[in-house]
Amino acid sequence: MSELSRRKLIRSGLTAAAGATGVALGAAVADRNGLIPPNWRGVYGLGETLTYASHRLLAAGANAREFPRSEISPKPFANGSPPTSDDFLKHQEQGFADWRLSVDGLVERPGSLSLDEIRGYPAESQITQLACEEGWNFIAEWTGTPLSHVLELVGIRPEARFIFYTSIQPGWKGLIEMDDALHPQTLVTYGFNGGDLPIGHGGPLRLRVPRQLGYKSIKYLTGLTAIDSVDPSLLRSSYSWYAGI
């Protein structure tokens, strides 16, 4: 589909929905400002576009709420089971000494970083809430280096529009746009409540995206790829792409 007919299609779809819901202005503004999410096509595309666009317009640059230490949850819930692959178990046995984070795609200096290297970068801590789409949540202190720092180090190219990220755990992957990737609260974390990040919470390395729902905070992080367009295969089919809260 040409860019023009794609935009026409989006616009007519948005206008139809907008007429029904009384947010015509929002839809028009979304289109004009390029606020069309990568999953606009498909069953949820229209609703997604409206949610995404209104969030972006209302909350551009906003921070996720941070909490005092006294509100850290005494018993944070670790969701799901850690990876069971031989590969992961071997890393675990070796105390994750050889764990690496690959960084590639639209960057000047693709490569891979060791945990020690990452721990040596400027560190930030944040006390934020992780909210699962299923309704539960907890507050914890997360420590790591800003993703923006890692991206600067490898020379992120101006064409990059999204960061796609992967886990050693099959099926878990994430995608955020540069606005979230460069946001100061988006951290490559290795610390949790003052200690190492426990395996249950994604240790040794996890991307923490506190401005979005829990499933965007991918555990057992192994790779970052800077891209300029999104192939549908990069999206997790069972979750909505944009999970702003």
Residue 229 or residue 238: which is nearer to ligand MTE going by CB? 238
Query: Which residues, other chains included, contact 134 with Cβ-Cβ below 8 Å and sequence gap of 6+?
Result: none
User: Among residue numbers 114 through 133, which ones bind ligand MTE (CB under 6 A)?
Assistant: 130, 132
Q: Is 23 in the site for Mo ion (CB under 5 A)?
A: no
Structure-token pair, residue 170: 């099959």
Size of the site for ligand MTE (CB under 6 A): 16
| Residue 82 C-alpha from the chain's centroid | 19
For 180-193, what is the HEC assignment? HHCCCCCEEEEEEC
When asked if residue 164 is in the footprint of ligand MTE (CB under 6 A), the reply is no
* CB closer to Mo ion, 175 vs 182: 175
DSSP code string of 104-165 = EESBSS-EEEEHHHHHHS--EEEEEEEE-TTS-EEEEEEEEEEHHHHHHHTTB-TT--EEEE
Residue 231, classified by CB atoms within 10 Å of its CB into exposed (0-12), middle (13-18) or buried (19+), is exposed
Q: Give whichever of 106 and 243 is closer to ligand MTE, judged by the CB atom.
A: 243
Residue 204 makes contact with ligand MTE by CB under 6 A: no
| Bridge-based pairing state of the strands 100-105 and 221-227 | parallel
* Cα distance between residue 158 and residue 85, in whole Å: 37
Rounded to the nearest 5°, which phi and psi values hold at 59? -120, 20
Residue 163 interacting partner from ligand MTE, Mo ion, none (CB closer than 5 to 8 Å by kind): none
88 binds, among Mo ion, ligand MTE, none (CB under 5 to 8 A by kind): none
- Of the listed pieces 62-70, 78-86, 105-113, 224-232, which binds ligand MTE according to CB under 6 A? 78-86
Using CB under 6 A as the binding rule, whether residue 44 contacts ligand MTE is answered as no
The residue range among 49-57, 73-81, 108-116, 180-188 that interacts with ligand MTE, by the rule CB under 6 A, is: 73-81
Name the nearest CA neighbour of 121 among 91, 94, 101.
Answer: 101
Q: Is 172 in the site for Mo ion (CB under 5 A)?
A: no
94 alpha-carbon distance from chain centroid = 28
Contacts with Mo ion by CB under 5 A: the residue count is 4
Of 120-159, binders to Mo ion (CB under 5 A) are 132-133
Pairing between strand 173-177 and 187-192? unpaired
Contact range with ligand MTE by CB under 6 A, out of 2-10, 63-71, 85-93, 218-226: 218-226
User: Which 3 state secondary structure label does DSSP give 38?
Assistant: coil
Stretch binding Mo ion (CB under 5 A), from 2-10, 154-162, 177-185, 210-218 = 210-218
- Considering only residues 80 through 109, tell me which ones interact with Mo ion, judged by CB under 5 A: none
Contacting positions for ligand MTE (CB under 6 A): 77-80, 130, 132, 167, 169, 172, 201, 214-215, 217-220
What is the contact surface with Mo ion in residues (CB under 5 A)?
132-133, 214-215
